[in-house]
Amino acid sequence: MINTLEDFIREYTKICNMGWIKTHRSGNTGIGKTLEDLLGIEENNLDAPDFGEYELKSCRINANSMLTMFTKTPLPSKAANHLRETFGYQSDAYDNNEKVLHSTLSADRFVKIADTGRQLKILCSPDKISIVSEDNVEHAYWPREQLRSAFEKKYKGKFVYAKADSRGEGANEEFKFFEAYEISDFNYSSFVSLLEQGKIYVDLRIGQYHDGAKKGQTHDHGTGFRIKESDQYLLFKKINKIVG
């Protein structure tokens, strides 16, 4: 078990020298699970550091794996219902004619919404982040200060950010860890800049309840702000290379 940054540097350097290591779990979380096991860190879902004062994060540098940084339903009230009814489309996932809206939006271009003939994008203005349609009408938004508070709460601590090459897939995936960074001080300005550049995406996953008292009603499965794992370190002011 590691307890300090010095412990991590020592043990992680050994891991880097091991070469290719077979994943301990299939799927996107395989890299994190593998590294935790090798470092002797027990897996948990607690909102607490993984060791000492640090949270541990890892990424495949040669993959386009996406990380959900945070989920936040937009305003105003019932915005998710409005988006689904206005831009949604029928899906074989449901046994009725109600609409769903699954789309990944960015600020650098309009995104076509299935075969509806409609398009949406993200617009960054001085006081809010909005979802607008091709006719420049705003349909939902997040106040900038609300997002700042949410993200600063999420990224309030210090992190160790480990990078690895990867090859293969599924249960046969392998990792070669090669460098790590100490990162801290979430930079909201960088977040907005990356959003404007189209490097942060907004995932709309708005469907409907399948059964129960709410059957057929709008269900926001979590409107998420997402970033490529390999770009995550760009969200921080302090970036200190500690291995590699």
CATH of domain 69-144+190-228: 3.30.70.3570
What are the pLDDT digits (tens) for 30-80? 999 999 999 999 876 666 788 999 989 898 987 777 888 888 889 999 999
Q: Alpha-carbon distance 41 to 3, whole Å?
A: 10
For the question of whether the overall pTM of this predicted structure is more than 0.85, the answer is no
Burial 212-241 (b: 16+ CB within 10 A, else e): eeeeeebbbeebbbbbbbbebebbbeeeee
- β-pairing, 174-186 vs 158-167, is antiparallel
Query: Does the domain made of 5-66+149-184+230-243 have the CATH classification 3.40.210.20?
Result: yes
What are the pLDDT digits (tens) for 210-236? 777 877 678 877 789 999 888 888 899
- 230 in Cβ contact with 61 (< 8 Å): yes
What are the pLDDT digits (tens) for 191-202? 999 999 999 999
Q: What's residue 29's pLDDT?
A: 87
Mean of the per-residue pLDDT values of the chain? 90
List every span in the chain annotated with CATH 3.30.70.3570: 69-144+190-228
What are the pLDDT digits (tens) for 108-161? 999 999 989 999 999 999 999 999 999 999 999 999 999 888 888 878 888 999
List every span in the chain annotated with CATH 3.40.210.20: 5-66+149-184+230-243
Among 229, 218, 226, residue whose Cα is nearest residue 164: 229
Q: What's residue 94's pLDDT?
A: 60
Q: What's residue 93's pLDDT?
A: 62
Q: What's residue 68's pLDDT?
A: 83
